[in-house]
Structures are given as C-alpha cells and as structure tokens.
Amino acid sequence: ELKVEQNPLFLSMQEGKNYTIYCNYSTTSDRLYWYRQDPGKSLESLFVLLSNGAVKQEGRLMASLDTKARLSTLHITAAVHDLSATYFCAVDNNNDMRFGAGTRLTVKP
C-alpha cells in the first residue's frame, strides 16, 4: 500500500529565511502533486511533477521530484508572511491521489 510521509509536520520560519519540506513515498509512482490550503479553505494546486528530475518554480516556491529516491521537495526561498498555510504533497496511486498529512507553515515577521 502506498504511504506518503511529509516532514516536518509543523514549521515556524522567520521572514526572509529559506527552508525545505520533504515528501517521501513508499512505492513507485510517476506523478507527484503539491497543494496549498489556507485555514478553513479548500486546496489549491501548486505543482504537478510528471517525471524524474522534474523541477518547477513559482515565485518563492520550487518543487522537485526524484522518483528513484521516491522523494519530492518543496523549497521556500526568502519566506514571506503570505506563504503561511498548510502544504500537502500527494502521490498518484492508480486511480486516486494519496496525500501526506500536511506541513503547517507559519512565517513570522
């Protein structure tokens, strides 16, 4: 059974600092997704990574995928308060996506 583990689960950062969120998964998969969820809101798609070595960037966020290591990273550069949210990775599992537990990011001034 596919298991998806994120770490850390909670992350408190200072504005301007860099940090990385990790997403490990237990079986082979050719697709990995990152989502953002603001408190009390729905999920918003951030990135879709479709192949080994894929890298995508949007603003201060950059996601990468290593299918051999079964690892994806979400790197945050020079964090700002607006990035405070919960970030989920999700891995393609045949006909559904299997989600990690989420990383709750708080960016402090």
Partner 1 sequence: NAGVTQTPKFQVLKTGQSMTLQCAQDMNHEYMSWYRQDPGMGLRLIHYSVGAGITDQGEVPNGYNVSRSTTEDFPLRLLSAAPSQTSVYFCASSYSIPQTGKSNYGYTFGSGTRLTVV
Residues that bind partner 1 (CB under 8 A): 4, 9, 31, 33, 35, 41-48, 50, 88, 90, 92, 94-102
Q: How far apart are CA 94 and CA 83, in angstroms?
A: 31
N- to C-terminal Cα distance for the chain?
41
**What residue type is assigned to position 94 of the chain?**
N
The CB-of-109 to partner 1 minimum distance in angstroms stands at 27
The CB-of-41 to partner 1 minimum distance in angstroms stands at 8
**What residue type is assigned to position 7 of the chain?**
N
Nearer to partner 1, 39 or 109 (CB): 39
